[in-house]
Structures are given as structure tokens and as C-alpha cells.
Amino acid sequence: MGFPAITSPRNQKVKTTVKLRRRKHRGKQGRTLIDGARELSRALSAGVNVTEIYFCPDLCNTVESRRLLEQLDEFAMDIYEVTENVFEHLAFGDRAEGLLAVAIPPDLGIKDLSLPENPLIAVVEGIEKPGNLGAVVRSADGAGISAVVVADQTTDLYNPNAIRASLGTVFTVPVCTATSKEVYDWLQKNGVTIFATSANGKNAYTDVDFHFPAAIVLGSEATGLSTVWGDTEINTINIPMHGLADSLNISNAAAVLFYEAQRQRSQKSVRPLAGQTPCA
């Protein structure tokens, strides 16, 4: 391998790349950072437009990073070999796997989502912490959720922390953003039953039927769901709490609900709630 070498943190490309740690500069540049070999591999496999890769051979100590290192000659983007000192400036936190990339994130709209015959959709509204967003997407990937829709977003979908927390599955699960009203209208148009989570939900999550086209809607831990989801026709559900806390972390709640829905779908059908329409 023979790639251009960067040995100084003061290199202009390094300075420009480091700025992508801040949302303002991600917006200005229309790019984001991907930390880690597993995350980068999944982005590449998903066809994400990766424009630059920085690598430090001495830090490529995991199986995934060494495998990716061996493939670098096959890639067409700009690739730079950097020293440990430079990589420390580029990388986030203490998880330095020796590989970091710059990418133009996907731009999928809600109308671009292609749903399967019997979709199970996750909607997260007003989620503030990118780590929580990434964890929800990771759970959605594990549970086989059809799509994740981020409503009224307060953090950017491709925040490097969200990418990292999702283990790169934010590039493999259909994910998009929209306003809450747009999401509500889209679900209604597509005949999807809405299950809105609330501490005061009328039904325990185990008492409703997820066999049919369904959307599980989770709100901010601080403020809950907005009034968009206050329609009396919407099914409100809760996760019973038996301790002092009145709710779970949103990513934990999402995992509980996603896997319950898939557990039900793997068993025989039960009687649907009023207003639910079985798939043909």
C-alpha cells in the first residue's frame, strides 16, 4: 500500500475534518464522520458515499480493522495514512480502531420509504441525545423493524455519536426524518395502526396486538409525545413500572416494545383491536 501520509495535526485536511465533530460544520460541509472499522464497513456495504478514509496502521488491532486495512487498495476515495498523534486529533473518545472516514450521509425522505406487506415501523419524536438515537436504531436492526422515522428531530440523524451507538446500522436500516405531522399523515395514509407510548397509556404493551401494520411511537424522555399523537383513535400503550422510576430510557423502552411486537408476530394471530385491518 502506498497512500499519502499526514504527520501533522496542523494539516489543513485534518483541521477541516476535525470540525465535523460539530453539528454546525456538518451542516455547512454536508458531511459527517464515521468512527470505527465495523461502522465504516457497514457504511461501505450500504453504498454510502465515503469521500475520505484516514488510517493509522499501528492502531488497527481488531479483526475488523485489519480486514478493512487489507481492502484499502480496492477503494476509489481519497485515503491517507496518519500518525498516532494525528489520529488522536481525528478520533472520538478512547475507542481508536485506527480507521476513520468522512462521508456524505444518505438523504432519504419519508415518501421514499418502501414498506413491506406487513410493516412494523418505529417512530421516535424529539429525541435529544445522539447516543440514544443510535441505540434505538441498533435495537430496530436487531428486532427486524421495517423502518425508523425520526420525527421533529433535535439532533442530526448522522451525528458521529449516533452512528457509533448504532454500530453502523443507521446505514443499513431504512431511516429518515420528517415533522411529526408529516409522519402522522403518512401513517394514516398507509393504513398503519399507531401505538403511542405514554406513562399513562391505556393498555399494557403486552395486551395489544402487533400482528398487523403497526407503528410504535416513542417520545422524548423529558417531555413525552407532542399533541400530534393525541388523537382519540390512537392506541396508547405503557410499559408497567414496578419501582420508583416512572419510565425507561427511550432506547431500553424501544427494545422492549420492538421485541414484544416481533414475539407476537412469530406466534399465531389473535383478535385485532377495533380499527385494525388485517393484511391481505
Answer whether 195's CB lies under 8 Å from 217's CB.
yes
Choose among 144, 145, 151, 161: nearest CA to 95: 161
Q: Which residue has the cell 476515495?
A: 77
**N residues, the chain:** 280
Say how far apart CA 84 and CA 101 lie, in whole Å: 16
pTM: 0.90
Q: What is the pLDDT of residue 271?
A: 54
Cell of 48: 454510502
**CATH architecture of the domain formed by 5-104:** 2-Layer Sandwich (3.30)
Q: How far is CA 6 from the centre of its chain?
A: 32
Task: Give the H or E element holding residue 125.
Answer: strand 120-125
Q: What is the pLDDT of residue 52?
A: 97
Answer whether 179's CB lies under 8 Å from 155's CB.
no
Answer whether 97's CB lies under 8 Å from 61's CB.
yes
Q: Which residue has the cell 464515521?
A: 34
| CATH match of 110-265 with 3.40.50.720 | no
Cα distances from 162 to residues 65, 126, 171, 222, in angstroms, run 20, 14, 11, 19
* Side chain identity at residue 278, one-letter code: P
What ranges do the domains of the chain cover? 5-104, 110-265
Q: What is the pLDDT of residue 154?
A: 87
Q: 110-127 burial, b for 16+ CB within 10 Å, e for fewer?
A: beebeeeeebbbbbbbbb
- Would you say the CATH fold of 110-265 matches that of 5-104? no
Cell of 270: 389473535
Choose among 104, 56, 114: nearest CA to 80: 56
pLDDT in tens, the chain (280 residues): 689 999 999 999 999 999 999 999 999 999 999 999 999 999 999 999 999 999 999 999 999 999 999 999 999 999 999 999 999 999 876 667 899 999 999 998 999 999 999 999 999 998 989 999 999 999 999 999 999 999 998 889 999 999 999 999 999 999 999 999 999 999 999 999 999 998 888 899 999 999 999 999 999 877 789 999 988 778 999 988 888 776 778 999 999 999 999 999 998 655 555 556 554 4
